[in-house]
Amino acid sequence: MPRNPPVVPVDTDAEVWRRQMEAIKRRSVAERIDEWEQLNRAVGLMAEQAVRRRHPDYSDRQVFLALVRAWYGDELAFAVWSEAATVQP
């Protein structure tokens, strides 16, 4: 099983990092997955909101296509959804 990163981030005090890693170790796998899911949903929502701020005229479909381009790249987006070429991320 992979271990937590051994390197303390430059902007983090070593003691704070150690406590954070200990707190993560105490969580169950289910708790870690739940937290990951929550963070993943939050990032997705923020990305959607960013597209809507940049392109307030986009329909829901256009927002989806813009996100596909941003997340998966143009090559895949255009191969699967040719209409993705009509929007900007």
pTM of the model: 0.73
**Beta strands in the chain, from DSSP E residues, in sequence order:** none
pLDDT at residue 81, as a whole number: 96
Compute the distance between CA of residue 67 and CA of residue 44 in angstroms, rounded to an integer. Answer: 9
Compute the distance between CA of residue 47 and CA of residue 13 in angstroms, rounded to an integer. Answer: 30
As a whole number of angstroms, the longest Cα–Cα distance in the chain is 51
For each successive 10 residues of the chain (89 residues), what is the average pLDDT?
72 91 93 95 97 98 97 96 94
What is the DSSP-derived secondary structure letter of residue 2? Answer: P
